[in-house]
Amino acid sequence: MRAASSGEPADLEQFGELTALLEQKVGRILLNGYPTGVEVCDSMVHGGPYPATSDARGTSVGTLAIDRFLRPVCFQNYPDSLLPDALKNANPLGIQRLVDGQPSRDAL
């Protein structure tokens, strides 16, 4: 998801708090420009044999690009109350997670 807008310096000063909010919700914040049209979705890929890419193990677009920039973090033996909301047993964000290999939005 991305947020695109036109903005003047006065707009940025008046609505500056929106940047922090958008940083948490979108993958690209664009002012006074044109988006690339690249979406993070399963059907968008960028790779293949030369000259499309010099390294077929990764891509910079689509859902496979998530692996390129992902830095996994393990929370071992952490109390539920100290975990990020996305990892809490109650699933307060209501996100879909894999539980024993099955998609679920239920609390554990």
Nearest-angstrom CA–CA distance, 48 and 67: 17
Four-point Cα dihedral 36, 39, 44, 50, nearest 10: 40
β-pairing, 97-99 vs 102-104, is antiparallel
pLDDT per residue as tens digits for the range 18-58: 888 888 777 677 777 777 776 777 777 666 555 555 666 66
pLDDT per residue as tens digits for the range 46-93: 665 555 556 666 666 777 777 776 777 888 889 999 999 999 999 999
Cβ neighbours, 10 Å, residue 38: 14
Nearest-angstrom CA–CA distance, 61 and 50: 17
Q: Full-prediction pTM beyond 0.85?
A: no
Domain boundaries, the chain: 1-36, 38-72, 75-108
